[in-house]
């Protein structure tokens, strides 16, 4: 009887191993590069090309293209997604403008809105949760943040989008993070979860997301 139990156990183990091999071969468990979406650049020439971006955002805070007066530019873009794990994205732009363009950018940031059916949601000003005055589109919602930090003394703006990014993996100065930044491994109380202009309440407590613009561009 003992030998039969051992035999059954070995047979079951062999079956599990064969199943894992098959799943890997089919790229279900460990997808190949063809099944991953990894985009990374720090080149200013690539700015504005967010085709295929998979974050829970339309990156509304970021300007569609760099203004002519923009200088001292620092840019970073990394969108890493797969069929298995949560997508992690990090987009960062820092630049300074002349006074006129700086004021135009502030007006644009304050006028950003997302619409769904008859509902409308706008960016908001936050003077409490950052070390600089901020215009915010997402704050601690599903481990995502999207905002612009304003430095009127230098006429500079820092644009940030983070999704499932650990504090130690942030590429820019941590002083540009929210004062109470939450790492992805911390469980969020959904009853007190932050806001996103891209999420609209619908029936049964669910929410409709208006993000996905850049995926549509890719198609």
What is the model's pTM? 0.80
DSSP, collapsed to helix, strand or coil, labels residue 77 as strand
Is 54 or 163 the better-scoring residue by pLDDT? Answer: 163
pLDDT at 49: 92
Task: Say if residue 218's pLDDT is above 80.
Answer: no
Q: What is the pLDDT of residues 35-65, one digit of tens each?
A: 345 688 999 999 999 998 989 999 999 999 9
The alpha helices in 61-132, defined as continuous H runs, are 99-111
CA atoms within 13 A on the CB side of 170: 22
CA atoms within 13 A on the CB side of 159: 23
| Range from 9-13, 51-55, 58-62, 142-146 carrying the lowest mean pLDDT | 9-13
pLDDT at 12: 53
Candidate ranges 6-15, 23-32, 96-105, 209-218; pick with highest mean pLDDT? 96-105
Do the Cβ atoms of 40 and 89 come closer than 8 Å? no
Per-residue pLDDT band at 205 (split at 50, 70, 90): confident
Task: Say if residue 21's pLDDT is above 70.
Answer: no
pLDDT at 192: 53
DSSP, collapsed to helix, strand or coil, labels residue 45 as helix
Q: What is the pLDDT of residues 97-141, one digit of tens each?
A: 999 999 999 999 999 999 999 999 999 999 999 999 999 999 999
Task: Say if residue 156's pLDDT is above 90.
Answer: yes
Task: Say if residue 19's pLDDT is above 80.
Answer: no
Average pLDDT, the chain: 83
Length of the chain: 219
Count of CB atoms within 10 A of residue 177's CB? Answer: 20
Here the tokens at position 164 are 């499932």
Task: Say if residue 85's pLDDT is above 80.
Answer: no
Task: Say if residue 14's pLDDT is above 70.
Answer: no
* Proportion of the chain above pLDDT 90, given as a percent: 64
């Amino acid at each position: 009887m003992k030998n039969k139990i051992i035999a059954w156990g070995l047979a079951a183990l062999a079956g599990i191993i064969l199943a894992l091999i098959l799943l890997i071969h089919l790229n279900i468990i460990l997808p190949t590069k063809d099944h991953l979406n990894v985009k990374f650049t720090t080149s200013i020439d690539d700015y504005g090309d967010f085709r295929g971006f998979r974050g829970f955002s339309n990156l509304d805070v970021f300007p569609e293209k760099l203004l002519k007066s923009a200088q001292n530019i620092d840019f970073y873009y990394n969108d890493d997604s797969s069929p298995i794990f949560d997508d992690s994205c990090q987009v960062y732009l820092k630049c300074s403008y002349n006074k006129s363009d700086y004021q135009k950018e502030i007006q644009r940031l304050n006028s950003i809105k997302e619409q769904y059916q008859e509902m409308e949601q706008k960016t908001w000003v936050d003077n409490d949760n950052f070390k600089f005055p901020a215009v915010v589109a997402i704050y601690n919602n599903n481990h995502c943040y999207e905002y612009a930090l304003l430095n009127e003394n230098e006429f500079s703006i820092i644009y940030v989008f983070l999704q499932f990014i650990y504090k130690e993996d942030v590429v820019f100065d941590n002083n540009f993070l929210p004062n109470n930044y939450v790492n992805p491994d911390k469980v969020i109380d959904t009853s007190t979860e932050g806001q996103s202009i891209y999420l609209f309440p619908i029936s049964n407590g669910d929410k409709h997301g208006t993000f996905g613009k850049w995926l549509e561009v890719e198609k």
